[in-house]
Amino acid sequence: MKCHRLISPLAALCMIPALLGAPAFAEGVGPVTNLPMPRFVSLKASESNVRRGPSLTHRIDWVFKRRDMPLRVTAEHGHWRRVEDREGIGGWVHYSMLSGVRTVLVEQDMLALHARPDPAAPVNAQLELGVVARLGKCRAGWCELRSGGYKGWAAKARVWGIAPGEVRD
């Protein structure tokens, strides 16, 4: 006689993150730091090993080589943080390699930095595609950026490293 077990659709949905290796929580707070999850940080060092798992015994899959690069933290385990870059590439990095200093990656070539958060405001400078800029205040649709001695406001949708609804004072 065959025995069949049925799993309710709700139970099956709850198991998907575990099967995919994702954290059991989608959004909320990290179990180690109690900081928001997911959240953005930046790379503190000019080079950092990215491992397959949260310990020194795990294989190094990548090496991030760009100081101040914005990263999204998606999981925590002890002193390790699972991070990903703009392209979704990542793995586990020791927390000492990360900084709470917020930066963004410019996603539009010749992104205008305006004097005020207004598309009609004068342009102070333009940033090339791929530039990493320091993040300042953010309002609905606009963020204050600093790079190369220039400062100004840019459209939030044109940078990566900040959540769409995030506001910073």
Judged against a pLDDT cut of 60, whether residue 21 lies above it is answered with: no
Q: Fold for 104-160, please state it.
A: SH3 type barrels. (2.30.30)
- Residue 27: pLDDT band (50, 70, 90) is confident
Q: Where in the chain is the domain with CATH 2.30.30.40?
A: 27-101, 104-160
Can you tell me the distance from the alpha carbon of 144 to that of 72, in angstroms, rounded to the nearest whole number?
A: 20
Q: Which helix (H) or strand (E) holds 82?
A: strand 80-84
Q: What is the DSSP letter of 100?
A: S
Q: What are phi and psi of 156, to 5 degrees?
A: -60, -35
**Is the pLDDT confidence value at 83 over 90?**
yes
What is the per-residue pLDDT across 37-63, written as a single tens digit (0 to 9) for each? 999 999 999 999 999 999 999 999 999
Average of pLDDT values for 126-140?
Answer: 96
- Closest residue by Cα to residue 23 from 51, 54, 50, 60: 54
pLDDT digits (tens, 9 = 90+) for 6-18: 434 434 444 434 4
| 93 has pLDDT over 70 | yes
Architecture of the 27-101 domain: Roll (2.30)
Q: Does pLDDT of 66 surpass 70?
A: yes
In the block, which residue shows the tokens 């099956």? Answer: 12
pLDDT > 60? residue 23: no
Q: What is the helix (H) or strand (E) element at residue 20, kind and residue range?
A: helix 9-20
Name the nearest CA neighbour of 21 among 77, 97, 86.
Answer: 77
Task: Return d(Cα 101, Cα 88) in angstroms, integer.
Answer: 20
